[in-house]
Amino acid sequence: MSIFKNRLFWPAAILVVLLVINMFTSRQFVTVQDGHLFGTLIDILRNSAPLILVGLGMTLVISTGGIDLSVGSVMAISAAVACLLIQDLDDQNSVGPVLLIIGIAIVVSMLMGLWNGALVAIIGIQPIIATLILMVAGRGIAQLITDGQIINVQSGPYATIASGFFAALPVALLIAVAATALILLLTRRTALGLLLESVGGSPTASRLAGIGARRLTIMVYVVAGGLAGLAGLIYSANIKSADSISAGNLIELDAILAVVIGGTALVGGRFSIIGTVLGAVLIQTLAVTVVAIGIPSEANLLFKAVVVVALCLFQSPTLREKVFGRLTPRSAAGAEVTA
């Protein structure tokens, strides 16, 4: 019985169902080709990487009771900066400079996060509106950087972070896994997780318990910015170009959805990193499934709606109680009273 009670059971179950569908529709689910893994599953995992990264940052932000709408714009800026600099390299295939540029792009993204964090924690603006500012203006900045055009790069090392393989596994996936591990380590092996949950659970009580909520909040936005920047790099490396208009467009919605599916409440407090990752993979799998089973474009949203509705009903504690609760002896006693 307890397995059904776990919040992550139903997202996981739906994910498995979708994957099984894909197993039947795809010609190669997982195989080895050219010395690395290949197939639908690998595609899904690889393509989930940006959403996982953005979702991780979003989870941390939401755990403090905030929200970050600007992640999509930060992705666009980071991609634009990176591609602009790489384009000007003499040798786009030299690893050192490309790594440096990646570093620069991430630092720029973290500065964006710092801006958000400052607005929220120092000036005290409601997070949704504070990050809306960068959401709107940020994409404009990205457009300025790329002059409204798509910047193409031909850098092998850069493309590797999205489509390369290392030890038979996609590099993008490895990056996402590494980031997840890092965040897990950071939040669960240190006291960061506890302090964040406490700030999100009750800001007043946390303040009186001596928690420096302000610094933590800023930090969380900086991390979210950095992760969004990294996601932007993978997004752009995947298509070897910086597209300031479509990069990360509307990703904030998917990221928030992933966080909520993963069992983190939007009001803040308790959060689940693994849940978010699961949510992100689920969303990506859903997108793939829609194409794989040939749902017409105009019905995509309806299909998504059905899955989301099913998911939230299954997750609902009240419904669960109604369906499964009857089986337990004590509710039987309750039934006897009402009868």
Q: How far is the CB of 93 from other proteins (least distance, A)?
A: 17
17 touching other proteins, by CB under 8 A: no
Tell me whether residue 100 or residue 245 sits nearer to other proteins (CB atom). Answer: 245
- Please provide residue 239's backbone torsions phi and psi, each rounded to the nearest 5 degrees: -110, 10
Nearest CB to other proteins, comparing residues 39 and 177: 39
Work out which of 45, 53, 101, 261 binds other proteins, going by CB under 8 A: 261
Site for other proteins, residues 96 to 135, rule: CB under 8 A: 119, 123-126, 128-130, 132-134
Count of positions on this chain that bind other proteins (CB under 8 A): 109
Distance of CA 334 to the CA centre of its chain: 43
9 binds other proteins (CB under 8 A): no
Identify which of residues 97 and 311 has a Cβ nearer to other proteins in the complex. Answer: 311
Two tokens at 294? 């040939």
Applying CB under 8 A, the span of 11-19, 94-102, 221-229, 267-275 interacting with other proteins comes to 267-275
> Which of 1, 90, 336, 339 is close enough to bind other proteins by CB under 8 A?
336
43/104 with CB nearer other proteins: 43
280 binds other proteins (CB under 8 A): no
What is the helix (H) or strand (E) element at residue 32, kind and residue range?
strand 31-33
Interactions with other proteins, residue window 24-83 (CB under 8 A): 25-28, 33-34, 39-40, 43, 47, 69
Q: Tell me how far apart the terminal alpha carbons of the chain are, to the nearest angstrom.
A: 25
* Positions in 223-242 near other proteins (CB under 8 A): 235, 238-241
Min. distance of Cβ 124 from other proteins in angstroms?
Answer: 6
Residue 57 or 66: the one with the smaller Cβ distance to other proteins is: 66
- Contact between residue 160 and residue 237 where contact means Cβ atoms under 8 Å apart: yes
Q: How far apart are CA 241 and CA 20, in angstroms?
A: 33
Q: Which of 83, 260, 273, 280 binds other proteins (CB under 8 A)?
A: 260
Three-state DSSP class for residue 288: helix
Q: Candidates 100, 178, 205, 323: give the one binding other proteins (CB under 8 A).
A: 205
Is 277 a binding residue for other proteins by CB under 8 A? The answer is no
What percent of the residues of the chain are helix, what percent strand, and what percent coil, each to the nearest 5?
Answer: 75, 5, 20
> Could you write out the DSSP letters of every residue in 62-128?
HHTT---STHHHHHHHHHHHHHHHHHT-S-TT-HHHHHHHHHHHHHHHHHHHHHHHIIIIII---HH
Distance CA 332, CA 326 (A): 6
H/E stretch holding 170: strand 169-170
DSSP secondary structure letter of residue 168: T
Nearest CB to other proteins, comparing residues 100 and 215: 215
The residues in 156-195 that bind other proteins, with binding defined as CB under 8 A, are 163, 189-192, 194-195
The answer to whether 302 contacts other proteins (rule: CB under 8 A) is yes
Task: Identify the bridge partners of residue 92 per DSSP, sorted by sequence position.
Answer: none
